Amino acid sequence: MTVGVLRIELAILEAQSLKDKRRVILSLKQRMRNRFNVSLSEVDYVNVAKRCCLAVAVVSPDARSVHSQLDKIVDFVRRAVGVSLVTYERELY
């Protein structure tokens, strides 16, 4: 069994308030859960309106599947409307 953790830092350029940010991030998180069946949470920049850091966890029988799933998630976030991918890092356990 392999667990992959992806840490994604995002910029929410159009957010003027925390309410704007949370609306955008909540929508993104729900789409990611529905599409990829992953666990995720906002882990940093919680009280910053234009920035967000999400942690995504994936579990699979083999590392190749985890890498593939994490690659698809990064591509999905790159194409997402309302956010801009700043950086990401992944770890496998």
pLDDT band at residue 51 using 50, 70 and 90 as cut-offs: very high
Q: DSSP label at 17?
A: S
pTM: 0.88
Provide the domain count of the chain.
Answer: 1
pLDDT tens across 15-36, in order?
A: 889 999 999 999 999 999 999 9
Nearest alpha carbon to residue 77 among 14, 19, 35: 35
* pLDDT for the residue numbered 79: 93
CATH of the domain at 49: 3.30.70.1120
Which residue shows structure tokens 């991030």? Answer: 25
Q: Domain containing 75: what range?
A: 2-92
pLDDT band at residue 41 using 50, 70 and 90 as cut-offs: very high
Q: Where are the beta strands (DSSP E) in 12-83?
A: 39-44, 51-60
